[in-house]
Amino acid sequence: MSKLRTAALRTSLGAALVAAIVGGTAAADATFLRPVLDRHAQGQIDQVGGARREAGDQTRTIDRAIQYGKAKNVILFIGDGMGDSEITVARNYLRGAGGAFPGIDALPMTGQMTHYSVNKATGKADYVPDSAATGTAWATGVKTYDNAVGVDRFGVAHQNLLELAKKKGKATGNITTSEIQDATPAVQEAHISLRSCYGPKATTANCPEAALQNGGKGSISEQLLTTRPDVTMGGGSATFTASTPADLAQAGPYVGQTLQAQAVARGYNWITDKSALAGVTAANQNKPLLALFAPGNLPVKLTGPAATSGGANLPAAACTDNPAFAAVPTLKEMTNKSIDLLTKNANGKKKGFFLQVESASIDKQDHAADACGQIGETQQLDEAVKSALDFARKQGNTLVIVTADHAHTSQLVDGNTPGLTVKLATNEGSEMIVAYGTAAAGGSQQHTGSQLRVAGYGPGAANLVGLIDQTDINFIIRRAFG
């Protein structure tokens, strides 16, 4: 581009935007940091204008946040079950009615996203999907049936984003607070007909087409080892250490071995203790990191009373720290470590990286009608997003996307309902009642089909604005990859 043309653009659009258009990068120069939003209320919420979140005309702020070109790095955040209601419940409790999350609420490009699965037999819409079908939608760009991972309704496997990133020479990571074989992380690791086929035993029984002894790709855990992200972190070590004959590899070069033994034999850096994470200084294809910090899902951050019938009549309770949480790294710590390892990776230095980050137990605690549990896991996601935004603003060409896989059942209400309720005392001294009405006490609350928030920062984030579908995430990231 000519110097004259560049100068004209600089005058009309601003230096930061021009840097992106002409191929420059805003790296560490603080004067080129693209804006994020501060959406706290402007004053006392009971005064005229006090509840306003907009501090004047934001047109220039949004204009400055628009970034063109492809992204060297992409970080995709998934709040499992994090519908608008779940975000509002957590924000009210932690930040107050006029408060704002410094991560989730700071992303300048925001849209709404439809999500649904399809009937396996007919291909018609299934309006309330599960995490496997929704994850497959953004990972591969194709709608599928509930419980399917990385395959369409005909059983055909489609390339996922992590596989694509590897093909393009990027470093890759996949981290979660759930078992690493759970549906959302699995969609970047595996292609299989049933999400519950974690290991050889379940795969032999329920996904025979994928079993190694039948010529298939293996269980989700076995496919993870073959997909070989540079960084993998979460829970789910029990499947790797299971040692009954049915849990061992049933065919192939590692026949008769546990998955843990197989991982070590294949060069993985296997760790299960939080304290060992600090000592990990490199992760690459020669020695990928496989860090599994719990046999199952990781413990949640906060605990409190579950919703009960008539719970709104009880005194307002406060959420408390879960002692078990201290034994595992936070999602923020795992995110920071992943970014550090992926940027030091030779592929990451040259071509950048792709990282998927999931806060999984917003959903799991919502299923259990546990408001405090889901609040803490939404907080975990926000803290991780804030760290990623700090990195992206300094680095200059990183796309950060924050969304959910599906909506869930919690609602803010004004009193008891025919379902379950719990009353919480928020940090600003108000009482908040959260209701769950899609299952009886002791049952599992259902997902809901409401559209979802999607928000982004960095190159290509403007494509998220307006109404998109979940499959669009795949194509937006592909476009950002170039």
Mean pLDDT of 152-163: 98
Contact 150, 193 (CB under 8 A): no
**pLDDT exceeds 80 at position 24:** no
Angle, helices 470-481 vs 131-140, to 10°: value is 30
Contact 449, 115 (CB under 8 A): yes
pLDDT for res 38: 86
**pLDDT exceeds 60 at position 405:** yes
Torsion sign across C-alpha atoms 199, 200, 202, 203: positive
DSSP string, 127-146: SS--HHHHHHHHHHS----T
Give the model's confidence band at 32: pLDDT under 50 very low, under 70 low, under 90 confident, else very high. Answer: low
Mean pLDDT of 88-101: 97
Residue 129's CB is within 10 A of a number of other CB atoms, namely 26
Task: Give the Cα separation of 325 and 299 in Å (integer).
Answer: 5
Task: Give the Cα separation of 35 and 429 in Å (integer).
Answer: 32
According to DSSP, the residues that pair with 425 across neighbouring strands are 431
Could you tell me which of 335, 338, 341 has the C-alpha nearest to residue 384? 335
Could you tell me which of 122, 268, 131, 259 has the C-alpha nearest to residue 200? 259
447-482 tens-digit pLDDT: 999 999 999 999 999 999 999 999 999 999 999 998
pLDDT for res 8: 38
Task: Give the Cα separation of 256 and 171 in Å (integer).
Answer: 31
Could you tell me which of 302, 318, 452 has the C-alpha nearest to residue 374? 302
Catalytic, 178? Answer: no
Could you tell me which of 329, 309, 306, 331 has the C-alpha nearest to residue 319? 306
Choose the catalytic residue: 85, 117, 131, 410.
131
Q: What residues have CB less than 8 Å from 260, skipping those under 6 apart?
A: 237, 240, 241, 270
Mean pLDDT of 153-179: 98
Calculate the alpha carbon distances from 65 to 40, 78, 390, 396, 399 in Å.
19, 22, 14, 11, 12
297-348 tens-digit pLDDT: 999 999 999 999 999 999 999 999 999 999 999 999 999 999 999 999 999 9
Q: What is the pTM of this model?
A: 0.93
Domains in the chain, start-ordered, CATH in brackets? 71-481 (3.40.720.10)
